[in-house]
Amino acid sequence: MYFYIHIPFCESKCHYCSFTSLKKKDYEEAYFNALIKDIKFQISQFNLSKNSIKTLFIGGGTPSVVEAKYYEKLFQVLTPLLKEKAEISCEANPNSSNFNWLKAMKELGINRLSFGVQSFNETKLKFLGRIHSQQAIFKSLENAQKAGFNNVNLDLIYDTKLDTKKMLEYELLHLEKIKPLIKHLSAYHLSIEENTAFAKRFHYKKNASNLMRFFIKGIENLGFKQYEISNFSKNKPCLHNLAYWQGQSYLAAGLSGVGFYENQRFYTHKSLQAYIKEPCFRNIEKLNLEDLNLERLFLGLRSVVGVKEKDLSSAQKVRANLLLKAKKLQFERGRYFNKNFLLSDELALFISS
């Protein structure tokens, strides 16, 4: 089983962010008490036993704005259920993850860090609504190394209106400087989402496919292999995210959490007060075969997972083979694989239409 825990607290709201995040207002104690109830409920509901959790991912929000002591009780509950070499990830921001916090989280069992860097350029950081500096990035990486972390990911954002070839070369130059300190990279092209500061400001996104390809090639030239539209790794992928793309079952605890088990999706409350009051509440969505098929198509074609031929209908196989003849797809070991992840949505829509 794969387990996600959502920490909704942030110091500030980034301009592009559509995830559920709130400023801290002394809710940590009540929220973490609710989380423990939620986690214990799911342990019982899904009969989780010793060594049953393969990966644990603590995301947000910004988990690093919450003191490490609040995570201790979570790990008292979860540690007995974790596999011996489970991947245990936690997100952090450069400005809020000091050495003491990192060291304490390492001692709790975190073995993979994901820093929300987004850019090395000060102007671009301000444009995105980030509150850390370039210097804070280097300091946080130095602290992570001192605390004993050797599996670190950085998140970057590109395809903004500020991105030119020169800007992307600047990002790649700084990536090269810190390359020895990281093993994984997530590079997301900017999305304009509702209920964000960037909502309806479509000109903030450049939509420059030539620059996207340039940046992806530059990242790969630094030794990071692309294995999903937004993810690159030196040696091995993030096992937790890979489970999503493979269509594996996963559980989620926390505000606005979304879990998936067999053919059902489970949603927690979206209101903080409601979640604290009823942490075990779930709104259940039942997915039909068509829903699951479409999801497998989109996830498989945006990653190295690919799509099984046997999962496609006769009509879908015909369209997939047309893409194969056009050299847009490859076929190996009973699966169709996408050769250009930037076209993944278009290819999935063509096959499913």
Q: What is the pLDDT of residues 261-283, one digit of tens each?
A: 989 999 999 999 999 999 999 99
The reported pTM is: 0.94
**Domain range annotation of the chain:** 2-246, 289-352
| Non-local CB neighbours of 48 within 8 Å, separated by 6+ positions | 1, 42, 81
pLDDT of 277: 97
2-246 carries CATH number 3.20.20.70: yes
- Per the CB < 8 A criterion, the answer to whether 133 and 118 are in contact is no
Per-residue confidence band for 197, with pLDDT thresholds at 50, 70 and 90:
confident
44-60 per-position pLDDT tens digit: 999 999 999 999 999 98
- The pLDDT value given to residue 190: 87
Sheet strand arrangement including 82-92 = 225-228, 231-233, 184-189, 152-158, 112-118, 82-92, 53-60, 2-7, 250-253, 258-261, 264-267, 283-286
Choose the weakest-confidence range: 132-141, 197-206, 272-281, 325-334. 197-206
**pLDDT tens sequence across 302-319:** 999 999 999 999 999 999
Q: Quick check: 17 pLDDT over 90?
A: no
